[in-house]
Amino acid sequence: MQTVLVAANAAVALLSGGSSLVGLVRPSVALAEGEQLGAAGSFFLGAYAARALPLSLVTLVVLLAGPVAAQVPVLAVAGLARVGDAVLGARRGNHPMAASCVGLALIHLASATWLLAR
């Protein structure tokens, strides 16, 4: 089970960090249908990447080489960050972003809960 947990959460971390890079390179991917990229959108994408990239890196390092005791708090923080991403997506009318972030949050938070119960 531990291998599955690490693989699933590493995939979520890579997806989150990777999507932030895609948003910087191709901003139209992060916009709701019909939305134009303005100064606020550029700021949002930069701010998202500034948070997502380090959090994804820390999550990967802790899962792959860090102490097991650090996994629960890191996964909890990463999961809550994804909940925040889902709320932002919903508020911006980007329903695919909101839905995918809820799913990713559930993976992190369920894993943290499972590890805590062990």
- For residue range 19-45, what is the model confidence (pLDDT) as tens digits? 999 988 988 777 767 778 888 878 888
CA distance 50 to 65: 23
φ, ψ for residue 59, nearest 5 deg: -60, -45
pTM comes to: 0.89
- 3 state DSSP class of 32: coil
- In tens, the pLDDT along 56-94 reads 999 999 999 999 899 999 999 999 999 999 998 899 888
Tell me how far apart the alpha carbons of residues 18 and 12 are, in angstroms, rounded to a whole number: 10
